[in-house]
Structure 1
Amino acid sequence: MDIISRAEWGARPPESRSTVPWSKRTVFMGHYSAASATQTPRQIQDFHMRVRNWSDIGYNFLINSVSGLIYEGRGWTTVGAHCAGHNTEAIGVCIIGKDQKGRQDVSDAARRAFKWLYEEANDRKGKRLTLLGHRDRGSTECPGDEIYSWLKAGLPIVGSPTPRPSPKPSAGTKPAPGTPVAFPLPAGWYFGPASGPDYSVSGKHERYFRGRTDRAWLKDWATQLGRRGWSVGKGRRWLGGAGNDGIYGSEYRALILAFQDDQGLREDGLLGVNTWNAAFRNPVS
């Protein structure tokens, strides 16, 4: 899985930091933010630094409870500020969300992301860390009853999702909004990671195609999904961290994968001609 870096979500620099060797890491601790799932890591960091006067965001990692996107907080070997008296031995992972009428309603994607981080921590440690909830070491309801029960059961329902055939797109009832826009890249090219080949267009270098930057085109595609009824933009379900900035990364990849799944397209997380055309031409169901 990808981890959205501090630079990608726009973190403020820490005022200070202390590191800890893996030999002293013994606990993997689950938290929740006790706030809306639309809350961004930057909003949490601002609260921790400006209101609580901490040197940085308190958690080592954060996970969006809906999309399952993973955000880097203080990272693996920086001492956190998530559980007083236990920050040296414990890696703190916060699921961004809160209880809803007794249920936290954490998605399967978020659960898989949490377990992936746990297994990654075990690999880096070279042995299994003790799995705890915040309430095991503090007077708090965190991380909520649902997540706490799941942690104490050993993350039993999390794992690789069962393969399933791609769904066929349902028959739409409304025409696609707006005027169709032709795919702006050359044949065989796509919007994808900067680490890819030359024909993988990320927006990072602001290349021009048909008189406009790649960033502008990628933003247009995401904006079109907003017209189709998708919650897209800073603080929303999709592209909630960096917003619709036109620079391909983990958030754009997650949005593209979700749209491909919705439309019954091949799910590769890359924005090629078929995925582009589906947004501008396929009816809205």
Structure 2
Amino acid sequence: MTYSTLTTETVETSQKSGRENATIDMVILHHSATTNTDQVLQMMTSGSRRVSANYVVKDRRIVGVVPEEWRAWTSGGTTDGGKGAAFDRRAITFEIQNASNGGSWPVSAESHESVAQLVADFHRRYGVKLDRDHIVGHRELYTRWGASYATACPGGLEMDAIVKRAAELVAGGTPAPAAKPATPAKSSAPAFPLPAGSYFGPKSGPARSVSGYYSHREDLRTFQRQMIARGWTFPRYGADGLYGDELRDNVLAFQREKGLEVDGLVGPATWRAAWTEPVT
């Protein structure tokens, strides 16, 4: 499974198909007409609609959904004779969440930057040309090539600005800093979600060790996302709601850094520190 190293998490779907030996040489950008990333991911993974994308992006959150080896179901149309699907086979596709709903469907500056950095990465890895014939918005498939269907998508996404910024990055421009936030103030953390005596730990542990193995727990995703916001990375699986090697190794390092008990488990003290300790 191939995802960009810029990916902050993965939430994979079975809604994909083969590229049929097509060479990746395009990027197709869509907006999702919503501000809610989790809603988009739920739609793509639940099967409620036959739709997916290689990446879902909102600000600095970059979610891998369909590995790059596979074609995502993003741009196909029912009446275009398969032209949209053919474009998807040669493209890496995006669904980008909006900054607000309605109007011009604006997209945040942070989302533009994340997309530009990904496009620059695809240029380096696949040789995707940084021009407006190869970096296109959804509506252009219809207006230029009669593929997909008539649409206002990708809303307020500024396509020319993305291509220009990607070219700057490839030429050696300084990337905007990755998702490292300002040092948080000492503040209260969300309540620790498990019963007294329980902790997030390996599946092989005792009954009080909660791994998320059977449920991909949302509360464990919350902790993982907070660690990502602090600058820790989960390059293989992202915030997947499971206690595994990536989480254990990050927790061990975090506990050493903050002078906590070093056991690799997420108990109340480690949970609380993820919100209240300064980023160092």
TM-score range (shorter-chain normalised) is 0.5 to 0.7
Change (3 A) 1:3 1:252: farther
Computed over aligned residues only, the root mean square deviation of the Cα atoms, in angstroms, reads 4.5
What percent identity do the matched residue pairs reach? 13
Q: What is the Cα deviation at residue 113 of structure 1?
A: 3.7
Instruction: Provide the C-alpha distance between the structure 1 equivalents of 2:57 and 2:43, rounded to a whole number of angstroms.
Output: 13
Contact map agreement 1:28 1:118 (CA 8 A) in 2: yes
Alignment equivalent of 2:138, drawn from 128, 134, 137:
134
- Once the two structures are TM-superposed, the CA of residue 9 in structure 1 deviates from its matched residue by 2.8
1:161 corresponds to: 176
For 1:22 and 1:105, locate their aligned partners in 2 and report how far apart those are by CA, in whole Å. Answer: 30
Could you tell me how far apart the structure 2 residues matched to 1:125 and 1:81 are? 20
CA distance in 1, matches of 2:163, 2:104: 17
- Residues 202-217 of structure 1 correspond to what in structure 2 (within 5 A)? 203=201, 205-208=202-205, 212-215=208-211
* Equivalent residues in 2 for 1:1-285, closer than 5 Å: 1=5, 3=7, 9=11, 11-12=13-14, 17-23=17-23, 25-38=24-37, 39-45=39-45, 46-49=47-50, 57-59=51-53, 61-73=54-66, 75-78=68-71, 80-84=73-77, 85=83, 86-97=87-98, 99-100=100-101, 101-106=103-108, 108=110, 110-128=111-129, 130-138=134-142, 139-148=150-159, 150-151=161-162, 153-155=164-166, 160-162=175-177, 167-170=182-185, 172=187, 203=201, 205-208=202-205, 212-215=208-211, 243-244=217-218, 246=220, 253-258=224-229, 260=230, 267-269=231-233, 270-271=250-251, 272-273=254-255, 274=258, 277=269, 279-280=271-272
Contact preservation (8 Å) 2:28, 2:135: yes
Deviation (angstroms), 1:122: 2.5
Q: Verify the 8 A CA contact 2:34 2:98 in the aligned structure 1.
A: yes
**CA 1:279–1:132 in structure 2 vs 1: closer, same or farther (change >3 Å)?**
same
Give the counterpart letter for 1:280 in structure 2. Answer: R
Query: Which amino acid is 2:139 matched to?
Result: R
Report the TM-score, using the length of structure 2 for normalisation: 0.56
Looking at structure 1, the residues matched to 189 and 88 of structure 2 have their Cα atoms a distance apart, in angstroms, of 51
**Would the alpha carbon gap of residues 87 and 215 (structure 1) be closer, same or farther in structure 2, given more than 3 Å must change?**
closer
Residue 142 (structure 1) shift: 0.8
Which stretch has the larger CA shift, 91-100 or 151-160? 151-160
Q: Determine helix, strand or coil for the equivalent of 2:27.
A: strand
Contact 1:70/1:113 (<8 A) preserved: no
> CA 1:124–1:9 in 2, change beyond 3 Å: closer, same or farther?
same
Q: Structure 2: how far apart are the matches of 1:157 and 1:254?
A: 30
Residue 195 of structure 1 is matched in structure 2 by: none
Structure 2: state its 5+ residue gaps. 78-82, 143-149, 234-249, 261-267
Structure 1 residues 13 and 169, CA gap change in structure 2 (3 angstroms): closer
- Structure 1 residues 67, 26: closer, same or farther in 2, change over 3 A? closer
The letter for the 2-side match of 1:102 is S
Change (3 A) 1:98 1:47: farther
Q: SS state of the match for residue 82, structure 1?
A: coil
Alpha-carbon distance, 1:164 to partner:
11
Whether the 8 Å contact between 1:65 and 1:96 is mirrored in structure 2 is: yes
CA distance in 1, matches of 2:219, 2:186: 31
Measure, in 2, the Cα distance between the counterparts of 1:123 and 1:106. 25
Q: TM-score, normalised by structure 1?
A: 0.55
Residues 13-67 of structure 1 show CA distances to partners (whole Å, capped at 9, x for unaligned) of 65xx3423354x3321111111242414231352433xxxxxxx343x1223145
> Between Structure 1 and Structure 2, how many residues are aligned?
217
